[in-house]
Amino acid sequence: MPAPRRRAVRLLLAVPWLVLGAWLAWLASDLVAAQRLADPAWIASRVDAVEGRRAEIRHEPVSLQPKGDADAPRLWIFGSSSVAAPSHAAFTEPLARHLAQRGQAAVIDNLGWEGMVSWDVRARLDDAWQIADAQGVRPDLVVLYYGHNDVTYTWHFALELPHFDAVMAPTWLLSPEGLRGPRDDGNTYWLFGHRRAGPLLKQVQQAGLLTLDPAAFDPLRERTARVFEEVTRDFLGATRGVPVMVVPVVGNLEAEPWGPIQTATALWQDGMAAADPGTRLDLLRQARDAETFTPDMRTKSEMLAMLRSLGPPTTEGPAPVTVCDLEGRLERAGARFGDDLFEDPVHFSEHGFDQMTGVIADCLVEGPLRLPAEPEAP
C-alpha cells in the first residue's frame, strides 16, 4: 500500500479515538464543575450573589373582572403556577363551583402567574391596586398561595447546577426535543438538562465521584427562609386592611428528591417503604427538606411553619390574617401526597385541583366568608 494511503487509513482509524478523548475531557470538566457543590465556602459565597437578583420582576399585566353582583365578595388569588397553570380556569372554576355548592357566590380574580417568586407576587399586589383604583373596585379578601418558586429560583441560580453537557448534548440531539429543534424561546436544551441534572448528580455520588455535605447548604436554606418571611410580611402590610387568608403550599411528597444521597435519597427510600402513614409522611417531609437540586423544588418546613404561624388569630399591620391548613385537612382525608393529587413535584392534577379548591372553599366559608346564621323561627 502506498505511504500516502497508509497515512490516510491511520488518520481515519485515529478519528474515533480523538473524538472519544475529546468527549472524556469534556466529561472530566463537567465532573470538576460539579465539585463546587462539595465546597461549603463556594456555596456560602453564592448566598450573597443571590441577593442582587431580588429586584427581578417577571410577571404579566394584571387584569381584574368588572364590577359584578354587589352582594358577592371579590376574592384576589395570588400565587404562581400552582394557581395559574395549566390555565387560570383550572383553579378558578372548581373553586367557584365548590363555593356555589356551599351557598356562597364570589367574584374571583386569579392574579397568579407562572414562575413568580414572593417578591414578584408582592409587586403584583401593587399593580392590582393600581388597576382596582382605576376601575373603582376593591377586594373583600386576599388569598395567598405561594412558596415553591422561592426555593427553586434561589437555589438553582445560586448553585449554578452543572448539566453534564458531555452526556446531555448527545442525548438531547437524539431525543424528540432535539430532533424537533429549538423552540421559539430557545431554551429547549436548557430545560432538557435542567430536568435531568438531578438523576445524573445522584449517579455521580453513587459512583463515588462526588460527596456532598448536607450542612453546607444550610446558609442558602436560611437565606431563602429569611427573605421569604420578609417579603410575606411586607405583602400582608400592603393589603390596605383587606383580610388575608394564607394557604401554606403543599407538594408531591412521593416525587423523588434530588440532593445528597445520604439524606435526601435515604430518607425518601425509607419513607416510601414505611407502613405506618404518619411515619411515612414524616420521613418524606424530611426528604423534601433535604433536596438541593430537584427541578421543581418544594417549600421547606421552616417556610411552611412561618406561614402557619401567621394565624389564627393574628394581625399583621392593619390586615387580619387567617390560615387554611390545606396539608393538614388533606392528610386527615387520607391523602398520600403523591400521584393521587399531583402530576409532578408541585403541580396538581385535575383531581388534585378539585380536592385543593374544595378544601380552600371549606376554609373560606368557615372563616373569612362565613355566612350569617339563619334566624331562628319564632
Helix 350-366, helix 88-101: angle, nearest 10? 50
pLDDT band at 375; cut points 50, 70, 90: very low
The Cα 344–Cα 359 span in angstroms is 20
Q: How much is the pLDDT for 106?
A: 93
Say which amino acid occupies 266.
Answer: A
Indicate if the pLDDT at residue 101 is higher than 90: yes
Residue 13, in any domain of the structure = no
- Distances from the Cα of 331 to the Cαs of 46, 171, 180, 242, 334, in angstroms? 36, 40, 42, 30, 5
d(CA 313, CA 315): 7
Q: Is 108 helix (H, G, I), strand (E, B) or coil?
A: strand
How many Å apart are CA 307 and CA 325, to the nearest integer?
10
Most confident of 60-64, 120-124, 155-159, 170-174: 120-124
Question: Which pLDDT score, from 0 to 100, does residue 283 have?
Answer: 98
**Residues with Cβ within 8 Å of residue 181, at least 6 apart in sequence:** 188
Is there a domain that residue 19 lies in?
Answer: no
Question: Do residues 364 and 72 make contact, with C-beta atoms less than 8 angstroms apart?
Answer: no
CATH number reported for the structural domain that contains residue 314 in this entry:
3.40.50.1110
What pLDDT score does 146 carry? 93
373 in a structural domain: no
What integer pLDDT is reported at residue 52 of this predicted model? 53
Question: Mean per-residue pLDDT for 166-195?
Answer: 68
CB 360 within 8 A of CB 325: no
Q: Per-residue pLDDT for 39 more than 60?
A: yes
What's the start-to-end Cα distance of the chain, in Å? 117
Length of the chain, in residues:
378
pLDDT surpassing 90 at residue 85 = no
Asked if residue 114 belongs to a domain, the reply is: yes
Lateral strand order in the sheet of 319-323: 107-110, 74-79, 141-145, 244-246, 319-323, 314-316
- The one-character DSSP state at 349 is -
- Total structural domains in the chain? 1
Helices of type H across 35-101 = 40-51, 81-84, 88-101
The answer to the question of residue 354 being in a domain is yes
In the chain, the percentage of residues whose pLDDT exceeds 90 is 53
More confident residue, 110 or 71: 110
| Distance, CA of 44 to CA of 51 (rounded, Å) | 12
> Taking residues 39-48, what's their average pLDDT?
84
- What is the per-residue pLDDT for 318? 63
Higher-pLDDT residue of 99 and 35 is 99
Q: Is the pLDDT of residue 133 over 80?
A: yes
Asked, for residue 6, whether it belongs to a domain, the answer is: no
Longest dimension (CA), the chain: 117
**Confidence class for position 165, pLDDT limits 50, 70, 90:** confident
What's the average model confidence in pLDDT over 183-190?
57
Q: Which three cell numbers stand for residue 239?
A: 393589603
Of 125, 197, 133, 147, which Cα lies nearest the Cα of 307? Answer: 147
Identify whether 302 is part of a domain: yes
Domain that holds residue 343: 35-368
For 96-158, where are the E strands, in sequence order? 107-110, 141-145
Residue 182: band (very low, low, confident or very high) from pLDDT cuts 50, 70, 90: low
Q: How confident is the model at residue 371 (pLDDT cuts 50, 70, 90)?
A: very low
Residue type, 101: Q
pTM of the model: 0.87
Task: Give the pLDDT band of residue 184 (cuts 50, 70, 90).
Answer: very low
For residue 246, list its beta bridge partners.
144, 323
| Helix ranges, 237-276 (H) | 266-273
d(CA 175, CA 165): 14
Least confident of 33-37, 104-108, 220-224, 280-284: 33-37
Residues 267-319: tens digit of each pLDDT: 999 999 999 999 999 999 999 999 998 888 999 999 999 999 997 654 445 67
Helix (H/G/I), strand (E/B), else coil: 143: strand
Q: CA separation (Å) from 196 to 43, 64, 257?
A: 21, 38, 12
Q: Which amino acid would we find at residue 288?
A: R
Q: Are 144 and 78 in contact (CB under 8 A)?
A: yes
Radius of gyration of the chain (CA): 25
Asked if residue 296 belongs to a domain, the reply is yes
On the CB side of 337, CA atoms within 13 Å amount to 29
Three-state SS at 29: helix
